[in-house]
């Protein structure tokens, strides 16, 4: 199947399943929407979904392509109403260029991803995730955008050993990486711009996204890396004893949450979790990866990384369900199958872009 059609169909099938109501569809019609980080794992899916809603409006993607490594936005599809701008959220010039398009809504997903990367490069993490974000909030305020939706992170808010399921009324000061500190700071800046300037912000706290669009790499999440290694018949390294759990969330369920966050007035000024609301252990996930890729090599157990102080992650999604009618609909197996199909179809692009420089990753040592 043609690659653009594959990505487009996946998103279209999902939108058909969730059947957004006519008010939501009308809200997005003819809007100009900026997605920073729109060539990334979550942003590419969001961009494709929004391109179906804006009609004669447009989706402007601002992305420096640091996640694709080969300098091309191959994670996106070609459509007349998707405008790709290669640029950086830290650059005033690049920001001015995209805001010339009369932006109505901003989805801020660009980030220096993620925990281990920020441990290795703490200054760049702060430059992108704090200073870049302030520049974007400034220009969004000056441009009087209607909404500013921020991709926050559950791991940045709830610290090491909170009570489960994680609820929004708890926050922790015990964060263990610069990424977590900077993502939490991002929420605080959103709150400041709302309080001081009346910018309509929404803080969406994502949990462990997986699905088509996430390129494996030394700093990436466990699912794409396990699929990538297992398809090559390599041993899967588990940092911990495998009983650790994560709230793995299919990427298009997050996209649903983002779309609804922009539409519902009840979301303005709020923070809430966007997750699947179910726990899956690392060893169960790894067994599934091995089963579907026909890999029988025993796992390699390694010490948990120093910053990884979360033996379990499970989010409450009650607040998002109440405020924005958020309902994740994709179970793990279905999402996993779509992820695997993507790996097979995009094997050449993934091979070119996956980033595992020798001896670099402290996470893999
Ligand atoms: N993936 C997850 O599990 C997860 C969990 C919690 C929060 N989040 C947040 O969601 C957002 C999207 O995550 P993702 O998994 O799609 O990440 P990603 O790395 O795939 O996408 C981020 C995109 O931002 C771009 N980018 C990085 N620095 C930039 C800069 N300075 N200027 C412009 N573009 C830049 C990258 O090239 C990439 O395409 C991030 O803000 C992340 O912190 C993700």
Query: Which atom of ligand 1 approaches the CA of 89 most closely?
Result: 32
Which residue ranges make up each domain of the chain? 3-210+249-277+312-330
pLDDT of residue 194: 98
> If one looks up domain 3-210+249-277+312-330 in CATH, what number appears?
3.40.50.720
Active site residue 193: no
Please write down the HEC assignment for all residues of 84-140.
EEECCCCCHHHHHHHHCCCCCEEEECCCCCCHHHHHHCHHHHHHHHHHHHHHHHHHH
Q: How far apart are CA 64 and CA 85, in angstroms?
A: 8
Whether pLDDT at 153 is above 90: yes
Task: Check residue 227 and report its DSSP letter.
Answer: H
Mutate to test the pocket of ligand 1, among 36, 37, 315 (most ligand atoms within 8 A of CB): 37
Query: Which atom of ligand 1 approaches the CA of 113 most closely?
Result: 19
Are the beta carbons of 313 and 207 closer than 8 angstroms? Answer: yes
Percent of the chain with pLDDT over 70: 98
Mean pLDDT of the 309-325 span: 96
Mean pLDDT for all residues in the chain: 96
Whether pLDDT at 191 is above 50: yes
Q: How far apart are CA 225 and CA 22, in angstroms?
A: 39
| Per-residue pLDDT tens digits for 38-86 | 999 999 999 999 999 999 999 999 999 998 888 899 999 999 999 999 9
Residue nearest to atom 38 of ligand 1 (CA): 40
3-state DSSP call for residue 193? Answer: helix
Whether pLDDT at 325 is above 80: yes
Annotated catalytic residue, options 14, 150, 158, 179 = 179
pLDDT of residue 212: 98
């Amino acid at each position: 199947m043609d690659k653009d059609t594959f990505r487009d169909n996946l998103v279209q099938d999902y939108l058909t399943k969730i059947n957004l109501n006519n008010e939501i569809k009308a809200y997005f019609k003819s809007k100009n929407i900026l997605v920073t980080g729109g060539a990334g794992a979550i942003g590419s899916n969001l961009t494709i979904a929004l391109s179906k809603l804006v009609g004669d409006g447009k989706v402007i993607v601002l992305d420096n392509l640091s996640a694709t490594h080969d300098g091309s936005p191959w994670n996106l599809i070609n459509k007349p109403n998707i405008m790709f701008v290669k640029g950086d959220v830290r650059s005033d010039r690049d920001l001015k260029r995209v805001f010339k398009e009369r932006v109505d809504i901003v989805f801020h997903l660009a980030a220096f991803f993620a925990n281990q990367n920020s441990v290795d490069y703490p200054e760049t993490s702060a430059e992108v995730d704090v200073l870049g974000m302030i520049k974007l909030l400034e220009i969004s305020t000056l441009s009087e955008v209607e909404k500013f939706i921020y991709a926050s992170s559950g791991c940045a808010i709830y610290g090491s050993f909170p009570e489960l399921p994680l609820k929004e009324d708890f926050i922790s000061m015990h964060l263990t990486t610069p990424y977590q500190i900077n993502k939490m700071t991002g929420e605080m800046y959103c709150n400041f711009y709302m309080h001081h300037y009346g910018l309509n912000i929404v803080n969406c706290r994502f949990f462990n996204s997986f699905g088509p669009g996430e390129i494996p790499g030394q700093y990436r999440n466990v699912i794409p890396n396990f699929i990538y290694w297992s398809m090559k018949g390599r041993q899967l390294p588990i940092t911990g004893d495998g009983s650790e759990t994560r709230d793995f969330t299919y990427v298009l369920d997050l996209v649903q949450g983002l779309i609804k966050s922009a539409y519902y007035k009840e979301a303005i000024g709020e923070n809430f979790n966007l997750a699947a609301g179910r726990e899956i252990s690392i060893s169960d996930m790894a067994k599934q990866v091995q089963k579907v890729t026909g890999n029988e090599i025993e796992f390699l157990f390694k010490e948990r990384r120093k910053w990884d102080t979360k033996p379990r992650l499970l989010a409450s999604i009650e607040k998002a369900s109440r405020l924005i009618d958020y309902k994740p609909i994709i179970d793990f197996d279905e999402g996993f199958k779509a992820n695997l199909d993507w790996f097979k179809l995009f094997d050449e692009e993934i091979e070119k872009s996956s980033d595992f420089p020798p001896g670099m990753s402290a996470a893999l040592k």
